[in-house]
Amino acid sequence: QQPVQSPQAVILREGEDAVINCSSSKALYSVHWYRQKHGEAPVFLMILLKGGEQKGHEKISASFNEKKQQSSLYLTASQLSYSGTYFCGRPGFNKFYFGSGTKLNVKP
């Protein structure tokens, strides 16, 4: 039920890039991306609905593959504020499941 994310954790220097992957064994209706800071609720980043879709802006963007079983989140020229745990999420029938999470730590 729960999507699998990789890597589990990543450490970056400011200005470096990162890619976070989210995989599902079954095709997804849609994929959502959230970021959570320690002790806080998750914050919505974006949603992708269509296979082959790419979305976002210059610094944070995401893609959804044609088969709708994998999504990737791209963080470009990372900033300190990007630190946190990133979750992908997928809706089920009247349910919503989060991925396993990727902890991102951006250092000066």
Residues binding another protein (CB under 8 A):
2, 29-30, 32, 39-44, 47, 87, 89, 91, 93-101, 103
Beta carbon of residue 77, minimum distance to another protein (angstroms, whole number): 25
Q: Residue 37 and residue 104: Cα distance in Å, rounded?
A: 10
Beta carbon of residue 98, minimum distance to another protein (angstroms, whole number): 5
In contact, 31 and 47? CB cutoff 8 Å: yes
Provide the 10 A C-beta neighbour count for residue 44.
10
| Beta carbon nearer to another protein, 79 or 100 | 100
Beta carbon of residue 1, minimum distance to another protein (angstroms, whole number): 8
C-alpha dihedral (59, 68, 12, 87), degrees to nearest 10: 100
Residue 53's Cβ-side half-sphere holds a number of Cα atoms within 13 Å equal to 18
Cis? peptide before 7, omega within 30° of 0: yes
| Beta carbon nearer to another protein, 14 or 26 | 26
| Beta carbon nearer to another protein, 33 or 82 | 33
| Beta carbon nearer to another protein, 27 or 41 | 41
